[in-house]
Chains A and B, each alone.
Chain A
Amino acid sequence: MEKIKLTIDKKPVEIEKGKTILEAAASIGIEIPTLCYMKLEDIGIENKPGGCRVCVVEVEGRRNLAPSCVTAAEEGMVVRTNSMRALNARRTNVELILSDHPAECLTCAKSGKCDLQDLAQQLGIRELHYEGVKSTYRNDLSPAIIREQEKCIMCRRCEMMCNKVQTVGVLSAVNRGFDSVVATAFEMDLQDTACTYCGQCLAVCPTGALTEVDLTGNVIRALSDPTKTVIVQTAPAVRAALGEEFGMEPGTLVTGKMAAALRRLGFDYVFDTDFAADLTIMEEGTELLGRLTRHLEGDESVKLPILTSCCPAWVKFFEHHFPSMIDIPSTAKSPQQMFGAIAKNYFADKIGVDRKNLVVVSIMPCVAKKYESDREEFSVDGNPDVDYALTTRELAGLIKLSNLDFKSLPEEDFDLPLGESTGASVIFGTTGGVIEAAVRTAYELQTGKNLEKIDFEELRGMEGIREASVDFNGLPIRIGIAHGLGNARKLLEDIRAGKSQFHAIEIMSCPGGCIGGGGQPYHGGDVNVLKKRQKAIYAEDAGKAVRKSHENPSIVKLYEEYLGEPMSHLAHELLHTQYFDRSE
């Protein structure tokens, strides 16, 4: 690779040709402020429309200032990132953005985590010199996402995630000049569009323009209602990220502290979605083996590959875009909904509480889970199986609100029986994890042998699309993995074209899987945050005594005393679902 030399703030720097001034500066520790720019190395996420003009720098011999995020570094360039002219321009540009931004920092959901607020502080802006008209936009309806477009600064990150990364195509810049705004087609309500609620738009929004529907108030009310028994489940990926909200290093596992915090918040039982993830493997794994056996016996009507169905954004995606293929995904409900169904039937009976007085709260790394729990088929006579789905961030807010010192909490265990889980269920939180958990169980059930090596390294990683072959006693099982809906779309188009060679495919909507979910603490554009969370998830798995779903004692007991066997009539009724054609 050809190298070039230039000078930035009087420091010499040598860098590969083709890199930007911004990247060249970062390589020698000079952080030029940015706003619209965002890049997640390795997973194909990049946004640099060059629109905000915050990263402007002075380049000797150049008449105007250069936006460093989109200007290539050149041989011999002399760059000043902190000259009076650059500083003034940067400040003016931010002031102009602020002149059309509601000064609502005191009450804004994003306060303290807002890139624009940070930037105004960093640049020392103490008064606004520009006054003018402010934009107003209509708010719309959605079960999961709140759009407050007055706070939008047109960085276009959300649009990039929605169109390029997820290929959902719900958002676009519309109108022109001062009236321009990121909106849906014909400015429809989000709930009337093909939005999957993956939440990647709000995961990257630098301001409070996109946030999740906040249900913490509902949970507080339920907790203080003496007539209600309130139970909680926590998704696998939450424990690998929650600590970040309390200043802990990304990748710190806080499973025990989280259980302790939930108990102190007043939940009557602290359970684990991981239990339901093990249950998912029992059902989905059995379904996979069933389809595989029929396929091997020559039944041509059997649909392969089987696709995972844990991710609600993914489910909504194929319902909208691939309605002719809705019989391919597993019919197994997601762990969240399996938990809800078991809680409101099996567990409610066990403790003698009417389902109407049992409130199920879930803590999810996800905003689509709010939508999923709202789906009509997941309720009985108007009473939902899962009452409230909160994000990891909302749980952190609840803990802070309740004056708990999270870091000093003791490590506690989940309650039994719906809190017992295996290592297989923990890895549901990362891309590749669901299929690895399924393989661990399917292998042993199919071959009747014990796995010698539980870790399937070939299924792990961060590449957007991965493939691997796992040997089932001489039978090669071909597995595909995709994370990010754009990658999922590619695998689906192959299936539709009859080109797919896979037996099973795992799909997660968010980059990295649930660890990078729309409800997680903001990663701030740093892909290493996701990698550290992934590492933590695998560490939790490795440290578990039981690492295969079918060996979870509480799962075994649940089948013995209640469900019978996987795919039984009762299991079908409670743990499986159907999909709907949502194409327009």
Chain B
Amino acid sequence: MAKIELQECQINQIKEICASFNNNAGELINVLHKVQSVYGYLPAEVQEVIAKELNISRAKVYGVVTFYSYFTMTPKGKYPISICMGTACYVRGAEQVVKEFERHLKIAVGESSADGLFSLNCLRCVGACGLAPVVMVGEKVYGRVAPADVLKIIKEYSETCPA
């Protein structure tokens, strides 16, 4: 895990969020929610600040962060890619689509590309089953995505084209 250096103002922001919950250890999950919504993700350094403020062990904070799938320790890419793995999308080949994204981006689900452009995640049913399989990049929805479409989608967002 690459070490990151938190800036003074970021640390203060986390401390303020903890304080808004009275530094109460029982509010850990709410604190994590709030911090993630502000910071985007929960790297070790952020968790350390929270542990100190709430006066609980780092191991405890890490335990909660790793338990709930909502919390993430990897930063989302500039263009977060979400692939629906709901029943409809799944039976219409979403798994193959996921594999294509993984192959082209050279990352696994839950990870971000080294250039920080893309992150890859699966989610359950976005309510557009008629368009299955569905892929979202940020807020934009792509329907009836075939494995062959994957590279095209990626290229729409690549700031430098792969050679």
Most buried by A among B58, B67, B68: B58
In which size bucket is the chain B interface?
10 to 19
Does B160 sit within 8 A of A, measured CB to CB?
Answer: no
Q: Which residues of the partner chain B approach A584 to less than 8 Å between Cβ atoms?
A: 48
Does A172 sit within 8 A of B, measured CB to CB?
Answer: yes
Does B60 sit within 8 A of A, measured CB to CB?
Answer: yes
Rounded to whole angstroms, the CA-CA distance of A184 and B62 in the bound complex is: 8
Q: Which residues of the partner chain A approach B58 to less than 8 Å between Cβ atoms?
A: 169, 185-186
Rounded to whole angstroms, the CA-CA distance of A584 and B69 in the bound complex is: 28
Asked, given contacts A169-B56, A172-B57, whether A185 binds B69 with beta carbons under 8 Å apart, the answer is no
B20 to chain A, nearest CB (A): 24
Asked, given contacts A163-B57, A172-B57, whether A185 binds B66 with beta carbons under 8 Å apart, the answer is no
Closest to B45 in A: A186
Most buried by A among B47, B51, B56, B59: B59
Whether the pair B69, A169 counts as a contact (CB closer than 8 A) is no
When the two chains form the complex, which single residue of A171, A175, A176, A180 contacts B59, counting CB atoms closer than 8 Å? Answer: A171
Whether the pair B67, A176 counts as a contact (CB closer than 8 A) is yes
Asked, given contacts A163-B57, A584-B48, whether A186 binds B62 with beta carbons under 8 Å apart, the answer is yes
Q: Which residues of the partner chain A approach B129 to less than 8 Å between Cβ atoms?
A: none
Does A174 sit within 8 A of B, measured CB to CB?
Answer: yes
Q: Which residues of the partner chain A approach B162 to less than 8 Å between Cβ atoms?
A: none
Does A183 sit within 8 A of B, measured CB to CB?
Answer: yes
Contact string, A164-180, partner B, CB cutoff 8 A, digits 1/0? 00000111111110001
Q: Which residues of the partner chain B approach A180 to less than 8 Å between Cβ atoms?
A: 67
Q: Which residues of the partner chain B approach A172 to less than 8 Å between Cβ atoms?
A: 57, 59-60, 62-63
When the two chains form the complex, which single residue of A173, A176, A183, A185 contacts B57, counting CB atoms closer than 8 Å? Answer: A185
Does B1 sit within 8 A of A, measured CB to CB?
Answer: yes
Asked, given contacts A175-B66, A175-B67, A176-B66, whether A186 binds B44 with beta carbons under 8 Å apart, the answer is yes
User: Which residues of B20-63 are within 8 A (CB) of A?
Assistant: 44, 47-48, 51, 56-63
Whether the pair A183, B59 counts as a contact (CB closer than 8 A) is yes
Whether the pair B60, A169 counts as a contact (CB closer than 8 A) is yes
Rounded to whole angstroms, the CA-CA distance of A340 and B31 in the bound complex is: 50
Whether the pair A174, B56 counts as a contact (CB closer than 8 A) is no
A510 to chain B, nearest CB (A): 20
Q: Which residues of the partner chain A approach B63 to less than 8 Å between Cβ atoms?
A: 172-174
Rounded to whole angstroms, the CA-CA distance of A175 and B48 in the bound complex is: 18
Closest to B1 in A: A186
Q: Which residues of the partner chain A approach B67 to less than 8 Å between Cβ atoms?
A: 173-176, 180
B41 to chain A, nearest CB (A): 14
Whether the pair B69, A184 counts as a contact (CB closer than 8 A) is no
Secondary structure type dominating chain B contacts: helix
Q: Which residues of the partner chain B approach A170 to less than 8 Å between Cβ atoms?
A: 57, 59
Rounded to whole angstroms, the CA-CA distance of A174 and B1 in the bound complex is: 17
Most buried by A among B47, B48, B56, B57: B57
B120 to chain A, nearest CB (A): 19
Q: Which residues of the partner chain B approach A185 to less than 8 Å between Cβ atoms?
A: 44, 47, 51, 57-59, 61-62
Whether the pair B69, A176 counts as a contact (CB closer than 8 A) is yes
Closest to A179 in B: B66
Q: Which residues of the partner chain A approach B51 to less than 8 Å between Cβ atoms?
A: 185
B18 to chain A, nearest CB (A): 17
Rounded to whole angstroms, the CA-CA distance of A163 and B67 in the bound complex is: 18
Q: Which residues of the partner chain B approach A183 to less than 8 Å between Cβ atoms?
A: 59, 62
Q: Which residues of the partner chain B approach A163 to less than 8 Å between Cβ atoms?
A: 57, 60
A434 to chain B, nearest CB (A): 29
Q: Which residues of the partner chain A approach B48 to less than 8 Å between Cβ atoms?
A: 584
Rounded to whole angstroms, the CA-CA distance of A183 and B56 in the bound complex is: 16
Rounded to whole angstroms, the CA-CA distance of A169 and B57 in the bound complex is: 5
User: Which residues of B96-139 are within 8 A (CB) of A?
Assistant: none
Q: Which residues of the partner chain A approach B59 to less than 8 Å between Cβ atoms?
A: 169-172, 174, 183-185
B6 to chain A, nearest CB (A): 14
B residues at A contact (CB < 8 Å): 1, 44, 47-48, 51, 56-63, 66-69
- In the A-B complex, the 7 residue pairs with the smallest Cβ-Cβ separation, listed nearest first, are A169-B57, A185-B58, A172-B59, A172-B63, A185-B59, A185-B62, A174-B66
26 contacts between A and B (CB under 8 A): A169-B56, A169-B57, A169-B58, A169-B59, A169-B60, A170-B59, A172-B60, A172-B62, A172-B63, A173-B63, A173-B67, A174-B59, A174-B67, A175-B66, A176-B67, A176-B68, A176-B69, A183-B59, A185-B44, A185-B47, A185-B57, A185-B59, A185-B62, A186-B1, A186-B44, A584-B48
Known pairs A172-B59, A185-B51, A186-B62 / 8 extra A-B pairs, C-beta < 8 Å: A163-B57, A169-B59, A169-B60, A172-B62, A172-B63, A173-B63, A183-B59, A185-B58
